[in-house]
Amino acid sequence: MAPRSRVDRSEISICGKYFVFFANFAVLVVSPLLLGFGIYILVLKEKSVSTFIDFLFDPSVWLVIAGAIGTVLSFLGCIGSLREITAFLRTYYIAVNIFILLELVIICFIFIFTFTPDIFKNFGIYPEDLLKDAIIKYRDDPDMQDFIDNTQKDLGCCGYSDSAEGYKDWNANPYFNCSTENNSFEKCAVPYSCCIIEDGDAINLLCGAGAQSDVQANSKFAPKINKGGCLWVLRTYLMNNILVVGGVMIGSLVPQLMLVHFSRNLREQILIQKSKWQS
């Protein structure tokens, strides 16, 4: 009886293939929802993103960007691994590598900002100048206003600067400045999100009235507000928790590096398998 012909073992790892597929499939389910929701908000509110500060502080814009990038990349990874399309896989892992490099740049930026902020000033980079526009436009965009209020409440800060007296930054806003030309009832005030609110206290939207006034600030009836600027509070927090923050940031790169490793290996395995078929 003639011996059975041996079936060649496939070079393609099933575990690696379906790891890449299911990881990207999960992202592919969520990303279009984020994209659609972001577009819906922009269309519903008829918002126009005309300046960089609008782009930076508009959550709906970030939803659109994250959803679009996530949809495209996850589609490439999902279909490329399932259908074993090498061009898709190559594009996928190159794009993920680029994002990993950008994340490393951001991590370095955060460490430099935390420990040696003067380096930015030596290169003429002033983060405060960028954030100042957000303070000025606080009342012009409801979404930006909500974003700033939530940031100040979450961080326990007031204003944008890297200063212990960041609450004075609100003097740049036309509604809150202390100039004699300002006839607003919010003159010399700060937003309610700067106030220190204890558990159980009712939210008073005028709790920051007169907070920028030197007379009011030295009074025993001075409003209880967080005085440190958000950059100052953020840098202080990073200095006190740099090991935890650094560990979380670096740890977030691990699954991305795994996807790059498995997708690149899968592409090479597919090419080896194709060469066997041709031979």
Same domain membership, residue 138 and residue 110: no
Q: Are residues 254 and 173 in the same domain?
A: no
Residue 31 lies in a domain: yes
Res 176: pLDDT: 93
Q: Which residues contact 4 (CB under 8 A, 6 or more apart)?
A: none
Residue 9 forms part of a structural domain? no
pLDDT of residue 55: 72
236 inside domain: no
Long-range contacts, stretch 102-105, CB < 8 angstroms, 24+ apart = 103/249, 103/252, 103/253, 103/256, 104/253
Q: What is the pLDDT of residue 1?
A: 45
Q: Are residues 135 and 268 in the same domain?
A: no
Which pLDDT value is given to residue 107? 87
Q: For residues 196 and 267, state if they share a domain.
A: no
CATH of residue 180? 1.10.1450
Q: Which two tokens stand for residue 264?
A: 């690149």
Q: Return the pLDDT at 218.
A: 59
Across the strands, what pairs with 93?
A: none
Rounded CA separation 159/227 (Å): 8
Question: Given this model, what pLDDT does residue 92 score?
Answer: 97
Q: In whole angstroms, how large is the CA radius of gyration of the chain?
A: 26
Shared domain for 222 and 142, answered yes or no, is: yes
d(CA 69, CA 91): 13
Each residue's pLDDT tens digit in the chain (279 positions)?
445 444 467 788 899 999 999 999 999 999 999 999 989 888 887 766 666 666 777 778 889 999 999 999 999 999 999 999 999 999 999 999 999 999 999 888 888 888 887 777 776 666 677 778 888 888 887 878 888 998 899 899 999 888 899 999 999 999 999 988 888 888 999 999 999 987 777 778 888 888 888 755 555 557 789 999 998 998 898 888 888 888 888 898 999 999 999 999 999 999 988 888 776
Pick from 239, 211, 234, 245: nearest CA to 157: 234
CB of 73 closer than 8 Å to CB of 92 = yes
pLDDT at 79: 96
> Does residue 205 belong to any structural domain of this protein?
yes
Domain count, the chain: 2
- Closest by CA to 23, choosing from 66, 67, 81, 63, is 81
pLDDT at 183: 87
Please tell me whether residues 186 and 258 are part of one structural domain.
Answer: no
Report pLDDT for 133: 83
Instruction: Kindly state whether residues 180 and 247 are assigned to the same domain.
Output: no
Residues 206 and 261 both lie in one domain: no
Residue 223 belongs to some domain of the structure? yes
8 A C-beta contact, residue 63 and residue 86: no
Assess if residue 3 is contained within a domain: no
- What is the Cβ-side half-sphere exposure of residue 156, based on CA atoms within 13 angstroms? 8
Cα distances (angstroms) measured from residue 140 to each of 135, 137, 188:
10, 5, 19
Q: Looking at the structure, do residues 66 and 87 belong to the same domain, yes or no? A: yes
Say if residue 67 is exposed, middle or buried (CB neighbours under 10 Å; 0-12, 13-18, 19+).
Answer: buried
Claim to verify: residue 43 and residue 62 sit in the same structural domain: yes
Whether residue 74 is found in the same domain as residue 107:
yes
**Angle at CA of residue 175, ends 129 and 54, nearest 5°:** 45
Cβ contacts of residue 209 below 8 Å, gap of 6+? 186, 188, 189, 223
2 within some domain: no
Full domain range(s) for residue 32: 14-117+242-278
In a domain, 268, yes or no: yes
Residues 248 and 181 in one domain: no
User: What is the model's pLDDT at position 2?
Assistant: 47
